[in-house]
Amino acid sequence: MMLWHFCPDFLLSAILREGLTKGRIAWTENGHVHMRYGFQWLTEDPDREKQAWCDPEYSSLPYDRAANRLTVVIPKESEVNLSRWMEAGPLIVASDQFRILNAYGEPEKHWLYRGDIPPEWITSAEALGARWKRPFRSDVAGSPAR
């Protein structure tokens, strides 16, 4: 099955070398951040402009999370580790958090792969270019280094 993963520039070389290994589902509940590790996010839509989860209007991150588009081909025998977000998400997070996580983009096109995706499954990497860059706190004059 062919799917796509978007990533920022500073993660590209590590992903191409090691594969997708750092994925997680993150949400906030009762003022606390929760993370479920071991899930790689993928999409069936290769169009960066439809990835609203990383739109600069909504993102507080200082970098474009969709500067690169990776094509990932999941072998047939490993498709058992793939789940549609809309089916798996309600089993992982509370319903109110599920609604919040689905507020941007087209969540029905998102997939989760449970486990690591080896670099051999990444069949291409396309540099789309960062659409914005905000300074990190340490880049701002007078800010303490991180």
Please say whether the dihedral angle defined by the alpha carbons of residues 107, 109, 110 and 113, taken in this order, is positive or negative. Answer: positive
Instruction: Please report whether residue 51 resides in a domain.
Output: yes
- State the pTM of this model: 0.86
The strand pair at 82-84 and 24-29 is best described as unpaired
Q: Would you say residue 140 has pLDDT above 60?
A: no
Q: Would you say residue 146 has pLDDT above 80?
A: no
Instruction: Please report whether residue 18 resides in a domain.
Output: yes
Give the pLDDT confidence score for residue 137 in this predicted structure: 52
Instruction: Please report whether residue 146 resides in a domain.
Output: no
Give the pLDDT confidence score for residue 111 in this predicted structure: 98
Give the pLDDT confidence score for residue 51 in this predicted structure: 85
Count of structural domains, the chain: 1
Contact (Cβ atoms closer than 8 angstroms) between residue 43 and residue 74 = no
Domain that holds residue 10: 2-139
Instruction: Please report whether residue 145 resides in a domain.
Output: no
Q: How far apart are CA 128 and CA 125, in angstroms?
A: 9
